[in-house]
Amino acid sequence: MNAVTQAAGETAHVTQAASGAEVLLRCLRDQGVEVIFGYPGGAVLPIYDALFQQSDIRHILVRHEQAAVHAAEGYARSTGRVGVVLVTSGPGATNAVTGLLDALMDSIPLVCLTGQVPTHLIGNDAFQEADTTGITRQATKHNYLVKRSEDLARTVHDAFYVARTGRPGPVVVDLPKNILIAPAAYEPAGSKPHRSYRPVTQPDPAAICRAVRALKGARRPMVYAGGGVINAGPEASRLLGELVRLGNLPCTNTLMGLGAYPASDPNFLGMLGMHGTYEANMAMHGCDVLFNIGARFDDRVTGRLSAFSPDSFKIHGDIDPSNIDKNVAVDVPIVGDAGAILRAMIAAWHAEPAPQNSGALAGWWREIAAWRAVNSLGFTQDMSPDAVIKPQYAVQRLHDLCKLSMRDTFISTEVGQHQMWAAQHFHFDRPNRWMTSGGLGTMGYGLPAAAGVQVAHPDALVIDIAGEASILMNIQEMGTLAQYRLPVKIFILNNEYMGMVRQWQELLHGSRYSESYSAALPDFVKLAESFHAHGLRARNLGELDGVIEQMLAIDGPVIADICVDRAENCYPMIPSGAAHNEMILGPENAGRTASITDEGLMLV
């Protein structure tokens, strides 16, 4: 307005200065952003206009803002880069909240740009106004509301710094529309350190020495590695492998850590926790020195805390000091980046003169071998062609046929039994190949996450292992697959039940299957076709391999509807409130079961 009354020369100056939206995009380019996952609306139209007039940054239009966040998570987790989301104010921002909390709990670096009503309307209940920083405060690592144009560039750079450093996480930048339109001063990413946020990455050498002395001197050592190793980059996974082999240590991974240690390696005991292997959980229970690197003693891992790894000397390496002594008190805390900790441990291992107790270690491996012989992931598949497909077998065949294809394969999942079967039976030898919603357990995560992975890796094989209930939570993203020709494969283990709910009802609620039957399901083959994808179905064992082979051969998105045993339960299982050595082993190993206590019944 003022510009109109100004001298002509000054008006020209005002219009030439870059708008907030343009400055924003320039900052994103500085941060190396190549892709944004988003959905437009009134408050962010200036950003969409600026996007339209450039070609460096690609925008992927999702079909729901929650999916934009999960897609950015898939992108981030499979590349190690910061995922970027753009949504409008009000409902755009509130739709993103589930995704933000998902990223917070799984430590995924994201920057989520949200539109906001102009600053002078904030607090007036304006159209599509939401208190976005208020609503997302507990769902983000940090958030910002940009109230002054001069703060815009620095705030965007800060947001990326906070998202990516320390324990990674989602950061929201709330952008009032007037800030996007008004001219703003550009600033390059600062070289000076952040005012207040300076996470410790280098471990304390004294703690490393104590840790190595304990681990090397252990009679029954155990390594428990989590998602922090993945977040620290592929080099950290390599170092984990080096340390484990150096000491011939047994190693388990958490759900978030799968791929950090190669599943095909003999030192790998499989995943631990509620649906972990017998050998991993028994070794956790029986070890005398436990080295946790990049995991957080989550309740799905520890089982009953008072009985968790009762006789072990505990070492805990974590980038986030608040994870240390949160659930489990430890003997040697080490704050630092997982890669830096592992590198220092390897150096200290070589420097430590005392030899390992090889006799005790050999005995420990014999004990582990006996637990392994229980074959806790075993299941029985009737091999006649018209037999009902066991879900575990379907995952096993999928894994074997993917392996045969020699293609770089990325797996995402939804949430439920299929997620656990995928974790148990699809073996990951490399990091960043496994995307799953661990901390929040968000149904509807897998399809958009797979889309995000495929955007980052256009030539890779990307498969969402899904349940028929979960897939419907973000099924609209089939449209995104079609629009961008993303050849994601959706492999539905269709048991016609919210299987995980059904399983808990069977075990804990007298088989009263309250509201857990997936009634009125769509015809997934037709559904695929209506979204311009291919639909396949396997009704029995005889059709399984053919469907998987066809799915892998099709150069485009596919839904493979795999009809599996409706009554199959996911074992082994540590019931809530039970200890690691009280696993339910399932029908293959009947007899050795833990009873569920009243206390356990109250746990989630």
Ligand X SMILES: Cc1ncc(C[n+]2csc(CCOP(=O)(O)OP(=O)(O)O)c2C)c(N)n1
144 or 571: CB nearest another protein:
144
Q: How far is the CB of 294 from ligand X (least distance, A)?
A: 24
Question: Is residue 99 at the binding interface for ligand X, with CB under 6 A as the rule?
Answer: no
Q: Choosing among Mg ion, ligand X, another protein, none, which partner's interface includes residue 81 (Cβ < 5 to 8 Å by kind)?
A: none
Q: Which two tokens stand for residue 387?
A: 């037999």
495 or 505: CB nearest Mg ion:
495
Strand pairing partners for 564? 389
- The answer to whether residue 583 is catalytic is no
139 or 289: CB nearest ligand X:
139
286-345: which residues touch another protein (CB under 8 A)?
Answer: 320-322, 324-326, 329
* Residue selected from 6, 54, 138, 483 as contacting another protein according to rule CB under 8 A: 138
Q: Report yes or no: 326 and 298 within 8 Å, Cβ to Cβ.
A: no
Q: Which two tokens stand for residue 422?
A: 């995928």
Question: Is residue 535 at the binding interface for Mg ion, with CB under 5 A as the rule?
Answer: no
- Going by C-alpha positions, the residue among 185, 145, 141 that lies closest to residue 161 is 141
Q: Which of these is catalytic: 271, 420, 500, 551?
A: 500
Q: Report yes or no: 208 and 148 within 8 Å, Cβ to Cβ.
A: no
Q: How far is the CB of 436 from ligand X (least distance, A)?
A: 12
Q: How far apart, in whole angstroms, are the C-alpha atoms of residue 501 and residue 511?
A: 11
Q: How far apart, in whole angstroms, are the C-alpha atoms of residue 576 and residue 591?
A: 19
Q: Choosing among another protein, ligand X, Mg ion, none, which partner's interface includes residue 384 (Cβ < 5 to 8 Å by kind)?
A: none
Phi, psi of 200 (to 5 degrees): -80, 125
Stretch binding another protein (CB under 8 A), from 195-203, 234-242, 343-351, 413-421: 195-203
Cis bond upstream, residue 193 (ω within 30): no
Question: Is residue 495 at the binding interface for Mg ion, with CB under 5 A as the rule?
Answer: yes
Q: How far apart, in whole angstroms, are the C-alpha atoms of residue 183 and residue 26?
A: 13
Q: How far apart, in whole angstroms, are the C-alpha atoms of residue 212 and residue 351?
A: 10
Question: Is residue 21 at the binding interface for ligand X, with CB under 6 A as the rule?
Answer: no
* Residue selected from 257, 438, 499, 572 as contacting Mg ion according to rule CB under 5 A: 499
- The answer to whether residue 22 is catalytic is no
* CA angle, residues 299, 467, 374, in degrees to nearest 5: 55
Q: Choosing among another protein, Mg ion, ligand X, none, which partner's interface includes residue 47 (Cβ < 5 to 8 Å by kind)?
A: none
Q: How far is the CB of 114 from Mg ion (least distance, A)?
A: 33
Distance from the Cα of residue 561 to its chain's centroid: 24
Q: How far is the CB of 385 from another protein (least distance, A)?
A: 55
Residue 526 one-letter amino acid: K
Q: How far is the CB of 339 from another protein (least distance, A)?
A: 20
Q: Which two tokens stand for residue 390?
A: 């066991």
Q: How far is the CB of 567 from Mg ion (least distance, A)?
A: 12
* Residue selected from 247, 441, 557, 572 as contacting ligand X according to rule CB under 6 A: 441
* CA angle, residues 585, 591, 592, in degrees to nearest 5: 50
Q: How far apart, in whole angstroms, are the C-alpha atoms of residue 417 and residue 136?
A: 30
* Residue selected from 241, 276, 438, 467 as contacting Mg ion according to rule CB under 5 A: 467
Q: Which of these is catalytic: 34, 128, 367, 506?
A: 128
- Give, for 60, the enclosing helix (H) or strand (E): strand 58-61
Stretch binding another protein (CB under 8 A), from 45-53, 161-169, 233-241, 446-454: 161-169
515 or 555: CB nearest Mg ion:
515
43 or 335: CB nearest another protein:
335
Q: Report yes or no: 555 and 542 within 8 Å, Cβ to Cβ.
A: no
* Contact pattern for ligand X over residues 468 through 507, marking x by CB under 6 A: xxx----------------------x-x-xxxxx------
284 or 420: CB nearest Mg ion:
420
Stretch binding another protein (CB under 8 A), from 140-148, 278-286, 390-398, 457-465: 140-148
- Going by C-alpha positions, the residue among 185, 195, 145 that lies closest to residue 43 is 145
Stretch binding another protein (CB under 8 A), from 58-66, 129-137, 248-256, 444-452: 129-137
- The answer to whether residue 127 is catalytic is yes
- Going by C-alpha positions, the residue among 226, 228, 222 that lies closest to residue 243 is 222
Q: How far apart, in whole angstroms, are the C-alpha atoms of residue 26 and residue 33?
A: 10
* Residue selected from 19, 114, 133, 442 as contacting another protein according to rule CB under 8 A: 133
- Going by C-alpha positions, the residue among 586, 292, 228, 259 that lies closest to residue 434 is 259
Q: How far is the CB of 275 from ligand X (least distance, A)?
A: 11
- The answer to whether residue 177 is catalytic is yes
- The answer to whether residue 54 is catalytic is no
Question: Is residue 443 at the binding interface for ligand X, with CB under 6 A as the rule?
Answer: yes
Q: Which residues contact 467 (CB under 8 A, 6 or more apart)?
A: 414, 415, 416, 417, 418, 419, 443, 492, 493, 494, 495, 498, 499
Q: Which of these is catalytic: 22, 37, 65, 426?
A: 65
Question: Is residue 446 at the binding interface for Mg ion, with CB under 5 A as the rule?
Answer: no
Q: How far is the CB of 341 from ligand X (least distance, A)?
A: 32
Strand pairing partners for 38? 61, 86
DSSP helix/strand/coil, 243: helix
Strand pairing partners for 252? 224
Contacts with another protein by CB under 8 A: the residue count is: 22
Q: Report yes or no: 128 and 89 within 8 Å, Cβ to Cβ.
A: yes
Which active-site residues does the annotation give?
Answer: 65, 127-128, 177, 500
Interface residue list for Mg ion (CB under 5 A): 467-468, 495, 499
**Given the rule CB under 6 A, which residues bind ligand X?**
414-418, 441-443, 467-470, 493, 495, 497-501
